[in-house]
Structure 1
Amino acid sequence: MTAAGMALDTAWPWIAGFGALLVLLIVAQIVLTLRQTEALRALTVRQESVEAQAPADATRTAEVQEAMAVQQRRLEEALESLRQARDKATRADRASEAKSAFLTMMSHELRTPLSAIIGFAEMIEQQAMGPVGNTKYRDYATDIRQSGQHLLGIINDILDLSKVESGRESLQEQDIGAQALFDRVRALLAVRAQEAGVALGFDVPDDLPVIRADKRRLVQILVNLLSNAVKFTPAGGSVTLRCWATPGSGVVFQSIDSGIGIAREDIPLALSVFGQVENDCAQQGTGLGLPLAKALAELHGGTLDLQSELGRGTTVTLRLPAYRIVAPALAMEAPAKDGPDQDAADLRQADLRQTAAG
């Protein structure tokens, strides 16, 4: 073998290995190129998709911004309405305070001269200082006294109502026995019911518990309710005060009459201040009795409800909460600050209010 042949035999493995390596490199380049091409194609497709989606996203963004602007405007309008409502409420509160202050001042200013007018008219009527001569003057004195009592009753109710509405009225609470309460109410209303020809009854259980309340105000509520019932019940009719107490219902008083009644749609008017329901009754009130009774009931934490129907009478329900019931073991009526003199004063005050209501 020649030297060239030997050299070729020796170099051939190296040539073969280099060729194989070259083939591998070529194959790897081809694979890499294919992958890059695929990635570029995918990137192109994505770019085209993004470009196609861009107008839709822009439209959606504009819609969202417009909706947010609308909501912002609505919020600003709501805030402005709230500010206006707050300003109106503030002005209304100030007006209410001014009204209450004015009524309080005027009531005090008017009560003093009216009391003098009533007192002097009563002296003339009773001829306390000797005969007045012509009996006509006594009749005039009676008219003056009754008119003065009517005005004084209205003024007292306005003053009471304004004090309650302004939050300046406070309760003088004490333990009240049922017998003492209903005896007082009966004494204040018996003559008026008799003169009207109306039967006045009391449906009260013997075991009614002691009640914790403002005695004067509670009597005032019941007298207002019952005197209203008597006023709007024709002669021969009946008025009944019913009462019961349970832990579930609290203390419940009901004034039930067989009078002319009120149309259902007029009930809110009857409970409003100065609200007067049109009817055929010759006697018309001032529209203060029921609202005042309702305000005093709420001051006790209770409620006042009126149910009525034309020609079928009226039922007014006063509910005091169960915490107003005094446990029998703890029941002890507070010492009475009102002796006979106070009883007479209460009778006189009730007469003034009843005259005003009439």
Structure 2
Amino acid sequence: MATSRIAVDAMGGDEAPEAVVKGALQALHHAEDEMAILLVGPEEQIHEVIHAHPDAPTEALHVLDAPEVIGMGETPSIAVKQKTSSSIHRGLAAHHDGEADAFVSAGNTGAIMAASMFILQRIPGVERPSIAGFFPTLEGYSVVLDIGSNVDCKPAHLLQFAQMGTVYARQILKNENPSVGLLNIGEEPGKGDELTKETHGLLQDAEDVNFAGNVEGGDLLFYAADIIICDGFVGNALLKFGESMTTVLSEMTQQEMERQGLTPKEKRLVSGVLDEVRKGFDPESQGGAPLLGVNGNVLVGHGHSTPDVIAQLIHSASTLASEDIAHALKAAFNPSLA
């Protein structure tokens, strides 16, 4: 198998570059196949972190100098235009130029999205690239598109989210006929606002989508469909609600255990069960969110990513590259170019 080459934004995330470099080293140490990692960021700063790890496999670890950093709080459109020597810019450029098979970043999501569209560009036929998320259910994870990259959508955009999600599920999740549900306020076709009602008709008529109908919010946790479609406003609210569960469930459980006067042993038992349940809602548990619809393999991580999560991101990016999700999407939207 050919070596997978992953460009990693060394300055992406709250604990960068230390957490990113440590995660890259973990990924290399545990890689089942040949892998090379290109760390992108201020060269001197990255080398200092690498030198603190004498066991670093330097033959598979390379550094690409990028002196500028786009902060988490910066306005994406301005930062992308002004900081053309940023780690996000140069990492994506390395991917575009064929020096890497995929790009990973736990940095500013808006900047990653904007820079990807500028440098990699959209796949022909795709109007709105979309970041896909994962929502835990009783039977596994549902893929959710869009989770915030497109707030104002048209019915045609939601149809494309369904088509891209279908390709992703087939290519990466190995689900040959994934079901697609449209998040709505009722199961009946006539329910919802104009966006969801028009989208329902488009999905029903789409030959390349296995449409399962409308899905209500109360059905999500029961695994209503393999893929859930909504606009980015609703999707991001859903995502943030899910993320809050990791903290809120713990606090609620602690309060109730105190109220019931549980013994320390009983508390440990309850906490152990709760910790396993909470993992499903942890945004770090899924190995990043793929950006679908750009002409490349891009994976977005959470800003709080630990070294373990960075390593998982890199392995997930390697899978994206080996399955060539960008080519699969290009073939789906442009059969003549396949």
Normalising by structure 2, what TM-score? 0.26
Which of the two has greater helix per residue? 1
Normalising by structure 1, what TM-score? 0.25
Which of the two has greater strand per residue? 2
